[in-house]
Chain A
Amino acid sequence: MTTQRRIFAAICRQHIRLSWRNGQTVLAVSFLFIAITLLPFGLGPELKLLRALAPGLLWVVLAISLLTSLERLFQADYEDGALDRLLLVPLSFEAVVLAKLLGHYVALVLPLIAAVPLAGLLLNIEAARLPILVAAMLCGAPALVMAGGIGAALAVSVRRGGLLTVLIAMPFYVPVLIFGAAAARAGLQGGVDVAVDVGAYLGVLAALSAASLLLAPFAIAAALRAALR
């Protein structure tokens, strides 16, 4: 294992370990279930209605749970000096950022997506729709993490930056939600055309994720450097 790869893995593993140990993962998943539980109180317990709305609701709830989990993505490290430390490792800071984001994906996003089928059950979603919904989330979530990362990095020096992070990240969430929900809806109809559609939507989601993976680490690294000056 080369030194650089070892460092990358260490940063990623450290982030995962701390997310679990500080209770971030459990909190985020609980948040998802709490939001899902509140929905029927607002919408009424009508199962047909909930079923019709389920994919969209699950996407929105996933996005919000993710955003709340991102708030402190870099802030603890910024405040306790760990970011200074990470700027001095023999690895480009963009790669350091990517390692942390990958850690976040594994530690928080994957558990959240894993909770989606169960949460879908509460909304009476058809089991047949779940695979496409989960696939769409797996494809689209990296873009959500990257966008949230940009918000978190720009707001890192702001004491109560949570709402600011949300405000900054929200416009980036629009395209992902649109295509994510479209994929989930197309999956409902069945038939050959629809399979093509679903493939296309997943492709668009993956493209959004790929583009943000290419761009966001540079923006995030630049934002963090600016905050450390």
Chain B
Amino acid sequence: MNTNSPVWVYTDTVKEHFMNPQNVWEDDNYEPDGEGLVGSMACGDQMKVGIKVKEDKIIDLKWQTYGCASAIASTSVMSVMVIGMTLEEAYTLTPVMITEKLGGLPKHKFHCSVLGDKALRAAIDNYLENQGRDNPYRKLVAKIICECKNVTDQQIEDLVKTKKATTLEELREITEYGTVCGKCQFRVQRLFDEYKHIYNV
């Protein structure tokens, strides 16, 4: 655990963003070009991100978060990082980059920053969809999880999100993950649970 302040469980940067969150979506009339919502209040955290885009650059971002201090702080710091980025840069932003900017998060809080970048990607996906454009960024961030059957995290994410795979058995039937060497089983299971949590299915 990384803490600048011995009395507080989080770093000073987390505290700063928690107490003075930047770019909060407070205006009900805000009209973003793309919008993404991940997580659920029942799960303890939910994030909504709206972006405005000009010439494939994010010129504005507003957000709302229901959740703990690190969830609020990681969305806030993410908003500051992302404004001015190209869509590609924003899409390839990783949870690690967000947590580094925060000076680190306690290990069990890493999850919160994962939600931040997921909400951002969902907003970019939505923007491109609204524009009727293909999404050239998705394949950039796909990671192969099952090497034997070439299954990526994105496939798993899509199957969970669209409820095509609601159990690990269904996921295995569709993707055949883990049917050869079996080394990926634990990672797949963890990802599967994570996506179920994020998309509240």
The answer to whether A binds B is no
Interface residues of B (CB under 8 A from A): none
